[in-house]
Structure 1
Amino acid sequence: MDFDQADALNQAIRLLSLRHRARAAALLDPLGLHPGQEALLLALARTGPRTQTQLSEALGCEPPSITVMTRKLEAAGHIRREPAPADKRASIVELTDSGKALADQVKRLWCALAEETVTGLPAETVAELPGILRTLTGNVDTRRPRNPHGAGPES
């Protein structure tokens, strides 16, 4: 790939990321949420109670970020944290009734944001996007070992 093509691709990904996050923040603000908190709520809505460590792994966030998010969401009454029965050092996080209602609002907002984001694209392209984006994410995942030449994942 030559520089012009690489630059165009990297700039497009950067701008999409920045604008999508800003748009999400604007939509989440009336709900009293900050970007990232919606992902935590949706993860709990999908899977049920989880430890903070499990949430950290599922969301690709550092544990201190999860701790800050859970404290804020707990203070707002959307989640509750309790010591894990098997390990009193770990906390189990679960949605409250308020959190379940908020997660339902976030789901509707997320659908609207996704539709807004893909407006004008053919249905076939939209259907392929999640797989393409997962591949791109995997290609730049810093948690994954790379081969010695830095050209991609190890075989």
Structure 2
Amino acid sequence: MPVESVVEEQQKDTEAPVDREKTCPLLLRVFCNQGRHHQLGDFQRGQTPSNELQIYTWKDATLKELTSLVKEVNPDSRRKGTFFDFGIVYPDLRTPVYRLREIGTTCSGHRGQDDNVTLASKRFQTGDYIDIAVTPPRSGLPMRRGGRPF
């Protein structure tokens, strides 16, 4: 297959909307941690952190959709102003280690620029993991990362 065809095919995968009525969902393995991402060593040698959340979804799922699903099962994360920092944990094909690529942040109760980011737009591959650092609000005022108020 020519290189141009491969590039066009990859672009179609990330841009085309998924027909959720006809497309089988994928199993998304999600790991949440309080205040920070998991250590990458937690994903080595076939091991994963013990706090796994399994979600059936599609590659066009947005970070805001995933935030809502995490909030359903994690009551502590429902407070307005809670941040969800998303990362894709994927195997490095050149070395026997995993890597983390941050893909966006959402905030409970607030609209943000990453709300509509999809897994496909961030090159998520079936078999990758999603790691979420859940950070509760610091005070009564919701704060952005870096300590700036909304």
Per the TM superposition, whether the score is higher than 0.5 is no
- Larger relative contact order (C-alpha < 8 A, sep ≥ 6)? 2
Q: What TM-score does the superposition give when structure 2 sets the normalisation length? A: 0.27
Q: TM-score, normalised by structure 1?
A: 0.26
- Larger Rg over CA atoms: 1
Comparing both structures, which one devotes a greater share of its residues to helix? 1
